[in-house]
Amino acid sequence: MKQDTDLLSQAIALAYANIRQGGRPFGALVVKDGEIIAQGVNEVVQTNDPTAHAELMAIRAASKQLGSASLAGCSVFASGHPCPMCMGAMRLAGVKAVTYAYSNEDGDPFGLSTAEIYADLAKPLSQQSMTIRHVPTRLAGQPDLYAHWKHHQ
Amino acid sequence: MKQDTDLLSQAIALAYANIRQGGRPFGALVVKDGEIIAQGVNEVVQTNDPTAHAELMAIRAASKQLGSASLAGCSVFASGHPCPMCMGAMRLAGVKAVTYAYSNEDGDPFGLSTAEIYADLAKPLSQQSMTIRHVPTRLAGQPDLYAHWKHHQ
């Protein structure tokens, strides 16, 4: 089984390679049973997709590889500290562990830290930078949306 | 300009339609200058992609539509309370506001709440359900990864 530092080095090597492609310096691997089953790099610049982070791309590739939305038993190795979106995605997928090499402190001088977004998301909803509103709305004459879904399972 | 409840009703209608496709009961719209520029539904079941939430799909479609990773000035209208991944994605994209119709409390009896994931992510890192480790690792003989990237900008 590969060592953690070997896997992190491979994720970092992907990040260096992505710089050569005009991309941002982030790479990630998904590992299961000691084997790399998927990888990803940050493709935001190349694709204009703000969700195309290395970890998200690796998760998507891994779920395709496994034919399952569950990555239970999988670990992620990322070159940099995962952002809140990627941290949330790993939870949804059931990833058991994430290990990263470069911290938000390392990234801060270069504008590559997501610490500010973490801090903002930790505030009460009314104090966050993005307006978040709950407007209870229902379609008239329809069964309850969630009960309707449950009935179809 | 459309009313919030009209836009939410359209997002909910997408969710109903997605149930008929075998999908989960979630739909979302991206709105700019009062016009719907993109939409998405939850395609996790259909694609096995754990990141294919309605909001994420709508964000990806909107960025494609605009040819930009920035959704500054855009608002999202979602049938249900956005999960932590989607909330993070909206921040990354610079979405200014999100409005949703069904709450996590509405979803809880049907297993459709992400309140537990929010609670877990709010804990200190060492107490969260997913193991998170920082293992500072550097590639020998290489310039600093982030400085190297900055130099290429």
Give the pLDDT of chain A (153 residues) as one tens digit per residue: 579 999 999 999 999 999 999 999 999 999 999 999 999 999 999 999 999 999 999 999 999 999 999 999 999 999 999 999 999 999 999 999 999 999 999 999 999 999 999 999 999 989 999 999 999 999 999 999 999 999 988
Say if the Cβ atoms of A51 and B70 lie within 8 Å. no
Question: Which residues of chain B make contact with A130, given a CB cutoff of 8 A?
Answer: 90-91, 95-98
Q: Burial-class residue A85 by CB neighbours within 10 Å (0-12, 13-18, 19+).
A: buried
The secondary element (H helix, E strand) that includes residue A84 is helix A84-93
In the sheet with A35-41, reading across from the earlier edge strand, the strands are A35-41, A27-32, A74-80, A97-102, B131-134
Q: Residue B15 in contact with residue B41, Cβ under 8 Å?
A: yes
A49, A102, A120 ranked by CB distance to B60: nearest: A49
Q: Which residue of B has its CA nearest to A120?
A: B91
Q: What is the pLDDT along chain B (153 residues), one digit of tens a residue?
A: 579 999 999 999 999 999 999 999 999 999 999 999 999 999 999 999 999 999 999 999 999 999 999 999 999 999 999 999 999 999 999 999 999 999 999 999 999 999 999 999 999 989 999 999 999 999 999 999 999 999 988
Residue A1: per-residue pLDDT: 53
Is ipTM > 0.90 here?
yes
Q: Which two tokens stand for residue A39?
A: 């990888």
Question: Which residues of chain A make contact with B153, given a CB cutoff of 8 A?
Answer: none
Q: Tell whether A73 is within 8 A of chain B (Cβ).
A: no
Task: Tell me whether residue B55 is one of the annotated catalytic residues.
Answer: yes
C-beta neighbour count of A63 within 10 angstroms: 24
Which B residues in the span 84-123 are in contact with A, Cβ-Cβ below 8 Å? Answer: 84-93, 95-103, 106-107, 109-110, 112, 117, 120-122
Angle between helix A54-66 and helix A84-93 axes, rounded to 10 deg = 20
pTM comes to 0.97
